[in-house]
């Protein structure tokens, strides 16, 4: 047999020829992919079809078969010439996340201020347009967060592993199947949280409190090592878990790259506001491991970013984490006072079915009698404001006072070490019960789509969607208005002096000046109150109309409007009154005289105080509206998804009546298996 007859001796192409062959095959495969995209587009139900649907399913199948044959032959050709197929350099997840960024940018360009280039945008249209963009960008953000989980997002596989390990996961598997069958993606975060708790053998004790309330110092004392950075400024930027490990170290997870193993002494690079401001490193999780005695029994301690800070973005991380712990320890600074943020944190724990322990931190700054009065004061407000009868434990890490902390650990925490497995199971049950109720409400909405006697009025669906979208736009508009008002304050110190001079003389000039600023800042309070009340009303109407048991309680939404900063000149030296001479000059003369006295004595100080107040007020506005947006989204996302399903014209994607009835029966059955779910 000649060499030309031996397939192994087929003459090879030179390097340049092989490269050209590879490029041609790659180009051909790109065209084949575009052909597949044409097939998919012709059969899709996109509202913006690119091609006419003039190909039958049978024809599409034949085309796909031929495409497979062409690709198989391309591979044989390249193999025959010894051309290696290069591995892809860009991951699918990365590409999708990049495209999501472009989707976000595309809708950002639809903001009212961007649309003015195409013509004037009316007031009603501007508000709804802002809400529409917020709505879409919120969904995109949640998808991006899901993709950031990587392989951890495969909930079904994780549940199978749990089942293999002997854990009772049948209830959660049923919930996951229902979420997947009906495309209820808005419930995936809650389901993920439940699975994470089932995967963990630990009992998570999270420490919450305002900035500099002593959380990190307290945890350092508990674990016996100075691993968490401490300071008087906002420190913690993301929640940091402390677990038992045979060797000290930490694992840092990121939204945009693989986890990194670091030494304990590098925690500050990732966990602090100073070295990771605004979480610029995109850290999603920090787990520090220590061979500490108090971690041996599966207890996990969590240090969270401070709440109530006007300077840190970490508070949003804390709010997102809060419902996932098993016990919440709330620190109230003995050197400060009980705040609305403290009460809101305890209330949020209660609403999530999570036990709370209240500590009066830094108790060493108080005399014993003052400490007792402070403890009584905090306990009294917990009863009167929240209806909770919780013990308040004074603690300190200072020498001579540590017995207070040791007593709390001995009586409250150490017993948990023996019971943590049962407590963790109870925590999971509560979370399962909450998710079960929400899924049942969603499926009842599906029944309304299929049962003519239960169907929702389409006009009512559209009206509710419009109301939710409009209130989202109003939140954004109100925030911008309030920021503009606070920004103008710093430029109007002269106007405030003039207004104070013109007020009636029954008050001191200092009081008149403070009232003049308060009147101007009152517009901020009025705008914020109006939009919060509107938000609460719309959410209540939507929840009631959809028969959702998850609805905001009275005062839950408007409760964000607390602790608005007040303009206070303190001990600034100002004339007590206009003086007798001014009274002889008539009203205009008196106004002129008062204004001149104030300017000459404290004009510059008033200007500086006004600028400072403007900044503090603006920070309060940003924090308050961030809280309002978060509370709105908590409810609105599920409502929007339900309304979208009710409005959908595609009943084929829903499933039949029998499946719906069976799944509702499954959800009803899980209630019997989760007896303390609503506890």
Residues 129 and 231 in one domain: no
User: Does a structural domain hold residue 291?
Assistant: yes
Residues 579 and 633 in one domain: yes
User: Does a structural domain hold residue 588?
Assistant: yes
314 pLDDT tier (thresholds 50, 70, 90)? very low
| pLDDT tens digits along 551-599 | 777 777 887 787 777 776 666 655 545 555 555 555 555 555 666 666 6
Residues 62 and 118 in one domain: no
Count CB-CB contacts under 10 A for residue 178.
Answer: 23
Whether 648 shows a pLDDT value over 80: the answer reads no
Task: Give me the pLDDT at residue 531, please.
Answer: 93
Task: Give me the pLDDT at residue 528, please.
Answer: 92
261-265, 568-572, 659-663 — which one is most confidently predicted on average? 261-265
38-47, 220-229, 498-507 — which one is most confidently predicted on average? 220-229
Task: Give me the pLDDT at residue 649, please.
Answer: 47
Residues 74 and 149 in one domain: no
Q: Which of 1-10, 319-328, 359-368, 630-639 has the lowest mean pLDDT?
A: 1-10
Task: Give me the pLDDT at residue 3, please.
Answer: 44
CA–CA gap between residue 142 and residue 108 (Å, rounded)? 16
Count CB-CB contacts under 10 A for residue 573.
Answer: 9
Residues 321 and 375 in one domain: yes
Residues 341 and 207 in one domain: yes
Task: Give me the pLDDT at residue 340, please.
Answer: 75
4-13, 469-478, 628-637 — which one is most confidently predicted on average? 469-478
Residues 101 and 215 in one domain: no
Rounded mean pLDDT of the chain?
76
Among candidate residues 45, 64, 87, the one where a domain is terminated: 87
Residue keyed to tokens 């399903």: 645
Tokens for 115, please give them: 């649309």
Looking at per-residue pLDDT, the higher value among 194 and 200 belongs to: 194
Q: Which residues pair with 302 in a beta bridge?
A: 206, 241
User: Does a structural domain hold residue 457?
Assistant: no
| pLDDT tens digits along 319-350 | 555 556 778 899 988 877 787 778 878 887 77
Looking at per-residue pLDDT, the higher value among 396 and 183 belongs to: 396
Among 229, 201, 642, 622, residue whose Cα is nearest residue 449: 642
Number of separate domains in the chain: 4
The domain in which residue 489 lies consists of 465-648
CA–CA gap between residue 253 and residue 261 (Å, rounded)? 9
Whether 678 shows a pLDDT value over 50: the answer reads no
Task: Give me the pLDDT at residue 58, please.
Answer: 78
Task: Give me the pLDDT at residue 597, please.
Answer: 64
Residues 59 and 206 in one domain: no
Among candidate residues 65, 87, 109, the one where a domain is terminated: 87
Tokens for 282, please give them: 């995109």
User: Does a structural domain hold residue 548?
Assistant: yes
User: Does a structural domain hold residue 679?
Assistant: no
Contacts of 153 (CB under 8 A, 6+ apart): 146, 147, 192
Whether 184 shows a pLDDT value over 70: the answer reads yes
Task: Give me the pLDDT at residue 326, please.
Answer: 77
The CA radius of gyration of the chain, in Å to the nearest whole number, is 31
Tokens for 219, please give them: 């945890």
Whether 18 shows a pLDDT value over 50: the answer reads yes
User: Does a structural domain hold residue 444?
Assistant: no
Residues 72 and 118 in one domain: no
Whether 447 shows a pLDDT value over 70: the answer reads no
CA–CA gap between residue 573 and residue 598 (Å, rounded)? 9
The H or E element spanning position 500 is: helix 493-502
Residues 471 and 596 in one domain: yes
The answer to whether 231 and 241 are in contact (CB under 8 A) is no
User: Does a structural domain hold residue 234?
Assistant: yes
Among candidate residues 398, 432, 448, the one where a domain is terminated: 398
Whether 653 shows a pLDDT value over 50: the answer reads no
Whether 508 shows a pLDDT value over 60: the answer reads yes
535 pLDDT tier (thresholds 50, 70, 90)? very high
User: Does a structural domain hold residue 176?
Assistant: no
Tokens for 574, please give them: 């100002």
Task: Give me the pLDDT at residue 52, please.
Answer: 79
What percentage of the chain carries pLDDT values higher than 90? Answer: 3
Looking at per-residue pLDDT, the higher value among 142 and 103 belongs to: 103
Task: Give me the pLDDT at residue 652, please.
Answer: 43
Residue keyed to tokens 């303009």: 567
The CATH number that applies at residue 209 is 3.40.50.300
Task: Give me the pLDDT at residue 220, please.
Answer: 87
Q: Name the region of 120 (left: φ>0; alpha: ψ -120 to 50; beta: rest).
A: beta
Residues 83 and 97 in one domain: no
Task: Give me the pLDDT at residue 231, please.
Answer: 52
**Secondary structure of residue 332 in the 3-state scheme:** strand
310 pLDDT tier (thresholds 50, 70, 90)? very low
Task: Give me the pLDDT at residue 603, please.
Answer: 65
Residues 131 and 208 in one domain: no
The answer to whether 241 and 324 are in contact (CB under 8 A) is no
Task: Give me the pLDDT at residue 419, please.
Answer: 73
137 pLDDT tier (thresholds 50, 70, 90)? confident
Cα atoms in the Cβ-side hemisphere of radius 13 Å centred on 609: 21
């Amino acid at each position: 047999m000649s060499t030309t007859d031996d397939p192994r001796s087929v003459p090879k192409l030179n390097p340049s020829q092989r490269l050209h062959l590879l490029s041609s095959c790659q180009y051909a495969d790109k065209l084949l992919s575009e052909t597949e995209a044409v097939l998919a587009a012709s059969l899709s139900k996109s509202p913006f079809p690119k091609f006419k649907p003039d190909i039958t399913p049978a024809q599409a199948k034949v085309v796909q078969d031929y495409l497979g044959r062409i690709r198989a032959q391309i591979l044989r050709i390249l193999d025959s010439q010894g051309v290696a197929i290069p591995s892809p350099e860009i991951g699918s997840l990365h590409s999708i996340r990049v495209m999501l960024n472009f989707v976000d940018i595309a809708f950002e360009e639809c903001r009212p201020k961007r649309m003015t280039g195409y013509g004037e945008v009316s007031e009603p249209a501007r508000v709804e347009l802002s809400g529409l963009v917020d709505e879409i960008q919120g969904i995109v953000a949640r998808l991006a967060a899901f993709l950031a989980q990587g392989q951890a997002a495969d909930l079904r596989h994780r549940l199978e592993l749990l089942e293999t390990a002997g854990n009772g996961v049948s209830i959660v598997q049923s919930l996951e199947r229902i979420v997947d069958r009906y495309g209820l993606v808005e419930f995936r975060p809650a389901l993920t949280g439940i699975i994470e708790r089932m995967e963990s053998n630990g009992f998570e004790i999270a420490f919450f409190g305002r900035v500099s309330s002593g959380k990190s110092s307290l945890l350092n004392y508990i674990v016996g090592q100075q691993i968490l950075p401490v300071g008087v400024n906002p420190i913690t930027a993301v929640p940091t878990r402390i677990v038992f490990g045979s060797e000290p170290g930490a694992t840092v997870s990121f939204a945009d790259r693989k986890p990194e193993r670091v030494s304990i002494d590098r925690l500050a690079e990732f966990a602090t506001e100073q070295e990771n401001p605004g979480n610029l490193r995109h850290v999603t999780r920090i787990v520090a491991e220590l061979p500490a005695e108090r971690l041996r029994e599966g207890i996990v301690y969590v240090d969270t970013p401070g709440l109530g800070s006007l300077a840190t973005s970490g508070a949003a991380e804390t709010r997102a984490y809060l419902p996932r712990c098993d016990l919440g320890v709330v620190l109230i600074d003995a050197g400060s006072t009980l705040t609305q943020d403290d009460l809101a944190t305890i209330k949020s724990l209660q609403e999530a079915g999570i036990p709370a322990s209240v500590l009066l931190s830094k108790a060493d700054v108080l005399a014993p009698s003052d400490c007792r009065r402070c403890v009584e004061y905090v306990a009294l407000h917990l009863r009167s404001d929240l209806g909770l009868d919780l013990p308040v434990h004074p603690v300190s890490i200072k020498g001579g006072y540590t017995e207070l902390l040791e007593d709390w650990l001995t009586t409250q925490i150490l017993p948990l070490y023996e019971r943590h497995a049962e407590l963790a199971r109870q925590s999971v049950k509560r979370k399962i019960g909450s998710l079960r109720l929400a899924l049942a409400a969603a499926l009842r909405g599906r029944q309304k789509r299929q049962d003519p006697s239960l169907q929702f009025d389409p006009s009512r669906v559209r009206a509710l969607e419009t109301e939710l979208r409009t209130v989202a736009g109003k939140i954004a508009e109100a925030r911008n208005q309030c920021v503009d008002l606070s920004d103008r304050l710093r430029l109007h110190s002269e106007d405030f002096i003039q207004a104070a001079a013109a007020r009636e003389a029954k008050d001191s000039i200092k009081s008149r000046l403070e009232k003049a600023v308060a009147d101007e800042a009152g517009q901020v309070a009025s705008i914020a109150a109006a939009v919060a009340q509107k938000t609460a009303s719309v959410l209540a109407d939507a929840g009631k109309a959809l028969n959702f048991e998850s609805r905001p309680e009275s005062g839950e939404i408007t409760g964000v409007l607390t602790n608005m900063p007040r303009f206070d000149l303190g001990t600034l030296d100002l004339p007590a009154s206009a003086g007798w001479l001014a009274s002889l000059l008539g009203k205009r003369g008196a106004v002129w005289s008062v204004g001149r006295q104030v300017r000459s004595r404290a004009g510059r100080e008033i200007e500086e105080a006004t600028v400072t107040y403007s900044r503090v007020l603006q920070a309060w506005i940003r924090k308050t509206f961030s809280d309002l947006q978060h509370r709105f989204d908590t409810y609105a996302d599920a409502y929007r998804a339900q309304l979208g399903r009710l409005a959908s014209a595609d009943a084929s994607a829903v499933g039949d009546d029998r499946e719906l009835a069976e799944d509702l029966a499954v959800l009803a059955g899980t209630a019997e298996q989760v007896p303390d779910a609503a506890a």
